[in-house]
Chains A and B, each alone.
Chain A
Amino acid sequence: MMSLNPRATALSITKHFFLILGGIVMLLPFLWMVNTSLQQGGLSNYVEAWTKVPFGRYFLNTMLVTFLTVAGVLVTSSLAAYSFATMNYRGRSTLFLLFLSTMMVPQPVYLAPSYVILAKLGWINTYMALIVPWTTNVFSIFLLRQHFRTIPKTLYEAAILDGCGRLKYLWKVVLPLSKSVIITVLLFNVIGSWNSFMWPLVVTHSEELRVLQVGLSYFNQEQSSNFQLLMAASTFCTMPLIILFLMVQKRIVASYSRSGIKD
């Protein structure tokens, strides 16, 4: 048995060697970003980048769009998933297939016609164009439906006997039982909305409507040789999501260790 230990140690060291190497490759660009942003002027680079173009406005736009989009997704997707999972009605499977079929087609394929539709609605260069088309998400509907289906029917029957309506049942029973999948849907959509680029680039033109990603892309073209400012801007554009992710990561790790103790 003793002879196993040095071998296990050697294996463990080899593993960590490669994992640390991988970690360095993943982290270095971020470290360089922050490092460059602090050269020649230090923190004043951040002030200069922030004031050179209205990044404050871009932040507010992104937060507004993300908030309303994700709120819309949560409402419309839970309602649709609830009906797909628990109700019987004509055309249900056809509608479900219709929804799923749209997932098969990547967004760039229908970008140009989407623009034409928005133009006909008079929505080009408005908040409506940034928000409304993304207030539902088929993948989220799919995820929620899968989870809602696992909730026992007897629970529903009991609730109806107690005089609980359908909507109330969704609100009082189904959603509280689906917290983890709702958080998944929430994060998935927050990250998607915060980082979306192609769509806002296409459907808005004016600076007042610019979101963070589009603003950063234009800033990159205007300041292409001013690396300190570019890295400062990249840093404050990425920080909110990185912080959010690190917080959520803790949650995931915590739930892992909790389930570990239970076992």
Chain B
Amino acid sequence: MKIRSKLGPYFYILPALLIVLIFRTLPILSSFTASFTDYDIGGFHGFVGFSNYARMLSDARFWQSVLNTLFFVLGVVPAGIIIPLFLAILLRGELKGKSFYRTIYFLPVVTSAVAISVVWAWLYNPEAGPVNQIITAFGGEPLLWLREPRGIFEMMLSPMGIHPKGILAGPSLALVSLMIVSVWKSTGYNTVLFLAGLENIPTTYYEAAKLDGAGVWGTFRHITWPLLSPTTYYVLIMSTIISFKTFALVYVMTPPPGGGPLGTTNVIVFYLFQKAFDRFDIGYASAISVFLFLILLTLTIIQRKVAGRRVHY
């Protein structure tokens, strides 16, 4: 009887613990050790020190995937904060049709990334897709969208005779097309988060601001923005992590082997996936995984430090 009650708690936790240990902790630790090994389709070929990491440094395709991912994050995260915050401010308080709007905005969130990618690939289709049809109906030039490898700054500036090269050319239009879909898909979720945050701000603050004669911008700047910062901070971290993990959109809309036109939509997780499962280069893929993990860890730490100074709780 006594033994049973002593062991009891462990029986409750055992099923979850087994799965966590075998399918989370073990592979997480393995990805660190595997990054120091030569491990391919033929199995384990011994430890190789840092040579997988050295290989990363000189792998142009890898650095391209890092740059593309940074472009992606820098585009998607700010847009994924500004647009939802604007919508949430509009939705705030008593409003006719509030739950109707919320439902519609949320539809892309619950829809699978694969289906959304199939649909958007059709919308973007250069020959018959609706997006180009609308553009030409308004007298604009049709674009190649997902098949356009040129950087967007290059495309915008070249009519003026300026031809930015390399990083300055910006993300390819193909990558920007993916960013648009990513923002479209996450807008509803972020809007709902911001709306919850806004409705937690006591209305007395706004009444006081009104009495003091504060304008719309002043109220936003001095009340809404600072008091909303815990939510903004949460949305910022979540969107950054989600953006770094982007895979399905790239895989379905700009299918392998390329990773988009001239590899311009090749992001880190896509590259990692190709190395691991097309080449079965587990050792090298694990080194890339560790790199990805370290970036995310660093970002979380930096954001936490910045937040410690700036966020008002």
Contact = CB atoms under 8 A, between A and B. Distances in A.
Given A19-B91, A32-B123, A241-B112, A197 B248 contact: yes
A18 B96 CA distance: 14
Contacts of A213: 112, 114-115
Contacts of B107: 26-27, 30, 242, 245
Interface stretch (A87-95, A151-159, A178-186): A87-95
The number of chain B residues touching the other chain, given as a range, is 35 or more
A102 interface: yes
A239 to B, nearest CB: 10
A115 B277 contact: yes
Contact of B119 (A32, A87, A212, A249): A32
A136 to B, nearest CB: 4
Given A79-B16, A82-B12, A221-B255, A237 B28 contact: no
Given A83-B13, A136-B16, A241-B111, A15 B276 contact: no
B24 interface: yes
Interface of B: 6, 8-10, 12-13, 15-17, 19-20, 22-28, 30-31, 34, 39, 86-87, 90-91, 95-97, 99, 101-108, 110-123, 125, 128, 130, 184, 187-188, 241, 244-245, 247-248, 251-252, 255, 269, 272-273, 276-277, 282, 285-286, 289-290, 292-293, 296-297, 300
Given A29-B119, A76-B19, A217-B114, 8 more contacts: A26-B187, A102-B24, A112-B272, A117-B26, A198-B248, A202-B277, A246-B103, A253-B99
20 contacts: A22-B101, A76-B16, A80-B12, A98-B20, A102-B20, A102-B24, A108-B269, A109-B290, A110-B289, A111-B276, A112-B31, A112-B34, A112-B282, A116-B27, A133-B23, A220-B117, A220-B255, A238-B112, A249-B106, A252-B99
